[in-house]
Amino acid sequence: MPNDLQKKMFREMEQKAIFRQAQEWAFDYADGVQERNVFPTPEAIADLERFVEELPPSTGNAEAIIKQLQQYGSPASVAQTGGRYFGFVNGGVIPAALAARWLSDFWDQNTALYVISPIAAKLEEVSEAWLRELFGLPENTVAGFVSGSSLAIFCGLAAARYRILQNLGWDINKKGFSGAPRVRVVAGRQAHGTVVKAIALLGFGIDNIEWVDVDDQGRIIPSAVPELDAGTLLILQAGNVSSGAFDPFDAICEKANKARAWVHIDGAFGLWAAASKRLEHLTKGMAKADSFSVDGHKTLNAPYDSGIVLCRDKEALTHALHASGSYIAYSENRDGMLYTPEMSRRARAVELWAALKYLGQEGVDALVYGLHQRAVQVARELAAEGFQILNDVVFNQVLVACDSDAITAETMRHMQASGECWAGGANWQGKTVIRISVCSWATTEADITRSVRAFVAAREKAVHDLRRA
């Protein structure tokens, strides 16, 4: 017989009242997200203290829990699914993909093995093929579906470590690093922090990185790349996190291929340029690399928790991430855990598949190029208002500055506090800047113009404040 707790939860599943209530509030949120404060108000932030309590000693009330989230959680959320959030390269969300996630959350699938979830395995297989086609990658390219590009970078570099050392006669899985041949790691001076983190986690050592000089846009200078060899891991970048610039892949990959070096391309948001006919020139030669990392939840606007590692060397990826156990039932079909560090993980490929199927080739192209158009618009309109644009807007990133670092910093503070839009700060070549990342399908021309007005108003307040000081 079911115990009291089981009876209670069976009843909640049968009656579905909490799900209907959650749906109603979710729809309310969606209906109002375009006009809500982009960043929470101070009052909403203060109300988060209501969540601070001792762990309840007994079972709670589901309706009250959902109500608490609605009443105090919703107001403290950032309106990333609206059209005026430009921070941290965070994408919006495609409705069809969000609906697919809702449905698959009820399925609650574990994607470790085909026998655990045939549907998840099949959608991973299909998505893998579609991604190869969109990015123009060779047929032997395989994909692993992870939480984000941070983990995707880790997987790509793990595959590189395995293959490079294997080619040098060393099995890293069995022997470890003690006595192993040296692996050279070469990267541009503006490599993303997640690349550095993966290098540290994999034991290469940050101090051992051979840094390559970059130009004024953050691109690796091809002539500055050192001589490469079969013991080298070269890391390139598709989309500088500040300027949006792309390394010149064609010439550098050609040099690396001749030396039999491994090339990994960090393309968290920029790799998607390959899927746009009007932007694919930015990724020319990309397919000559060995592994790639990219996010579905950035440029593609899939729901969060959608990273992808792509690798042309299936054996290197699967051997680097291999797990074993007498109970593991591998099959002749796709077993997802072979391509990721995790065993148990949610079926994140469901919403990725839904996003790709909904958009199709033309839709992906339109989405990616549309982000670029809005970035060009914001740069043009801000420049017309006297702001400095410090980068070549080749993709979706815009670097903005005022007449002094102090004015820039105060302008950003007032802009963020306005609730009209939100963008973050950075340091670009020793200068304080505001970094605008246009990443949401929901951003319209009107959103850009409205945001520019917010920038102008924020600058006026900044100048006034600094004069009084």
**What is the DSSP-derived secondary structure letter of residue 333?**
S
The residue out of 356, 382, 412 marking a domain boundary is 356
Task: Tell me, yes or no, whether 403 and 299 share the same domain.
Answer: no
Angle between helix axes 149-167 and 193-201 (nearest 10 degrees) is: 50
Examine residue 280 and state whether it is found in any structural domain, yes or no: yes
Report the candidate in 226, 274, 291 with the shortest Cα–Cα distance to residue 252: 226
pLDDT at 326: 60
Task: Tell me, yes or no, whether 163 and 242 share the same domain.
Answer: yes
User: Would the pLDDT of 2 be above 90?
Assistant: no
Examine residue 92 and state whether it is found in any structural domain, yes or no: no
Q: What is the dihedral of CA 459, 462, 468, 469, to 10 degrees?
A: -150
Task: Tell me, yes or no, whether 285 and 429 share the same domain.
Answer: no
Task: Tell me, yes or no, whether 222 and 128 share the same domain.
Answer: yes
CA angle 444, 432, 80 (to 5 degrees): 30
Task: Tell me, yes or no, whether 20 and 131 share the same domain.
Answer: no
Mean local confidence (pLDDT), 14-43: 96
Task: Tell me, yes or no, whether 16 and 153 share the same domain.
Answer: no
Task: Tell me, yes or no, whether 128 and 71 share the same domain.
Answer: no
**What is the DSSP-derived secondary structure letter of residue 63?**
H
Tabulate helix, strand, coil % of the chain (nearest 5). 50, 15, 40
CATH number, position 433? 3.90.1150.170
Q: Model confidence over 66-76: pLDDT tens digits?
A: 999 999 999 99
Examine residue 393 and state whether it is found in any structural domain, yes or no: yes
Position 97 confidence tier, pLDDT thresholds 50, 70, 90:
very high
Task: Tell me, yes or no, whether 351 and 368 share the same domain.
Answer: no
The continuous run of DSSP H or E covering 295 comes out as strand 291-295
Q: Model confidence over 303-336: pLDDT tens digits?
A: 999 999 999 999 999 999 986 666 677 889 999 9
Counted domains in the chain: 3
Mean local confidence (pLDDT), 347-359: 98
The residue out of 50, 79, 108 marking a domain boundary is 79
Task: Tell me, yes or no, whether 337 and 396 share the same domain.
Answer: no
Examine residue 407 and state whether it is found in any structural domain, yes or no: yes
Which range, of 170-174, 375-379, 384-388, 465-469, averages the lowest pLDDT?
Answer: 465-469
pLDDT at 411: 98
pTM to 2 decimal places: 0.96
Examine residue 86 and state whether it is found in any structural domain, yes or no: no
C-alpha dist (Å) from residue 306 to 45, 74, 418 = 28, 23, 31
Task: Tell me, yes or no, whether 120 and 60 share the same domain.
Answer: no
Q: Is 276 helix (H, G, I), strand (E, B) or coil?
A: coil
Q: Model confidence over 408-439: pLDDT tens digits?
A: 999 999 999 999 999 999 999 999 999 999 99
User: Would the pLDDT of 371 be above 80?
Assistant: yes
Residue range(s) defining the domain that contains residue 147: 99-356
Give 378-418 as a DSSP string: HHHHHHHTT-EE-S--SSSEEEEE-SSHHHHHHHHHHHHHH
Task: Tell me, yes or no, whether 173 and 319 share the same domain.
Answer: yes
CATH number, position 227? 3.40.640.10
